[in-house]
Structure 1
Amino acid sequence: MLTFEQKLAIIETFPQLERKNVSLGRVNFHFEESVTEKKNVVYHLHPNGNGFVYTEEIKDFPSDNKGMVNIRDFSEEDLRTVIEQSILSLSAKSSEETATVKEIDEEQWINAENHTLILVHEDDEMWNVYAGVNLDGTFLSYSEAKQYLEEEGFKKK
């Protein structure tokens, strides 16, 4: 396990992050250029080595109900990777990514039993999944909705 000092040294190599000292010797690192309301990339890094990184939009790092993953036992490589991916998830998307998302207004998803769900981008903010006229789920991002559909056994038609 990396020590608090080692983790600090790694995190401080990311010039996009701004250090914020908080109570009990803990440290947060904010990404002020975030395109979402989320600014904390590193949350409550504690002198005992415990801490969290924002991973709500990252598939490879499962997050808790606050969208964070515990980094207590992370290696240097894993810590660098999760921070890079966290910053990317909070960054402005390229015009190509934005155009792709904007082009998707509606998608059909089907499962092995030929049940169909419709994924609809509504109000430029929400992704809604419909089973016929019934709302099945609402998500804040395309990746969240896609993950849900795939976990439920659906594939894009």
Structure 2
Amino acid sequence: MLTFEEKLSIINNFPELERKDISMGRVNFHYEKSALDKKIVVQHLHPNGNGFVYTKNVGDYETDNKGMTNIRNYTESELIDVIQQAIHSLSPEANAEEIPDEEHWVNANEQTLLLVYEDGLWNVYAGQNLDGSFHSYKQATQFLDEEGFNKEY
């Protein structure tokens, strides 16, 4: 089993991760360029050597209900591999979708809303009126779903 210091040394070799010291001597590492709401790649790395890596979208890793895999007994190569895969799973490249800049959404009453990507935000319009602004496509479509709208094809 790698020591806490050895794991820190390995993780520090990933320049895209930002260290965040938390309580009880534990450390988290965030991937700020994550395309998803999830930013923590390494969570609760503890001085006793225990810790977790986010592997929900990575493949054949045993995960808890938060999508985290315990890395307590990982070797150096296993740790490097799982972190590389975790970062890739959160990267914009891995999560790029072909999303049009404009979509029409309609509800059961035939009301139509327009979802438009403008100036880095996803805006929902009811006619000329701005109904809502969202930081991600996912947030905007979740709002539209909750309001009873479906994408018009």
TM-score, normalised to structure 2, is 0.62
Check conservation: 2:88, 2:94, Cα contact below 8 A: no
Say if 2:8 is the partner of 1:8.
yes
Aligned twin of 2:97: 98
Check conservation: 2:41, 2:53, Cα contact below 8 A: yes
Letter in 2 for 1:98: E
Say if 2:71 is the partner of 1:71.
yes
After TM superposition, where is structure 1 displaced by more than 6 Å over at least 4 residues in a row?
none
Q: CA 1:30–1:94 in structure 2 vs 1: closer, same or farther (change >3 Å)?
A: closer
C-alpha distance after superposition, 1:54-94 (max 9, x if no partner): 00001122211011000000010110010000000000126
Counterpart CA distance in 2 for 1:94 and 1:48 is 33
Q: How does 1:14-25 map to 2 (within 5 A)?
A: 14-25=14-25
Letter in 1 for 2:32: E
Q: How does 1:99-118 map to 2 (within 5 A)?
A: 99=98
C-alpha distance after superposition, 1:83-112 (max 9, x if no partner): 0000000001269x634x99xxxxxxxxxx
Larger Rg: 2
Letter in 2 for 1:63: T
Check conservation: 2:54, 2:68, Cα contact below 8 A: yes
The structure where helix makes up a greater share of residues is 1
Alignment size in residue pairs: 102
Counterpart CA distance in 2 for 1:50 and 1:94 is 28
TM-score, normalised to structure 1, is 0.61
Identity of aligned residues (%): 57
